[in-house]
Amino acid sequence: MLRDVDEAMLSPFWTWIARTGAPIAAILIPAAFFLSVASPAAKHPNGLIRLTYIGGGFLAAALLSLGVGPSGAGRQS
């Protein structure tokens, strides 16, 4: 998969997102669920549950960049 990222015609920012988006999401989403109810007295999740949206954003951006980026790999600039 990383070979596809290397061959894709992506800017450095989108290359970084394509390489690290899924691992960042894999850390943020479970951490949000755990940290939002870490207190034994918690009856509802606290504001840290919003980390799931950030993790979902990273995951979506990584998947979109991996889906769109390699489509331009065969073209010459």
| Mean per-residue pLDDT, 63-72 | 77
- Round to whole Å and give the CA distance between 8 and 15: 8
Token pair of 68 as six digits: 């769109």
pLDDT of 71 strictly over 80: no
Domain containing 13: what range? 2-72
| 4 within 8 A of 70, measured Cβ to Cβ | yes
Structural domain contains residue 77: no
Q: Is the pLDDT of residue 31 over 90?
A: yes
pLDDT of residue 67: 82
- Position 15 in a domain: yes
The reply to whether 35 falls in a domain is yes
The structural domain count of the chain equals: 1
What is the reported pTM?
0.79
Q: What is the mean pLDDT of residues 38-61?
A: 93
**Cβ distance 8 to 69 under 8 Å?**
yes
In a domain, 33, yes or no: yes
Residues 66 and 10: their CA atoms lie apart, in Å, by: 10
38 belongs to a structural domain: yes
In a domain, 31, yes or no: yes
| Phi and psi torsions of 21, nearest 5° | -60, -45
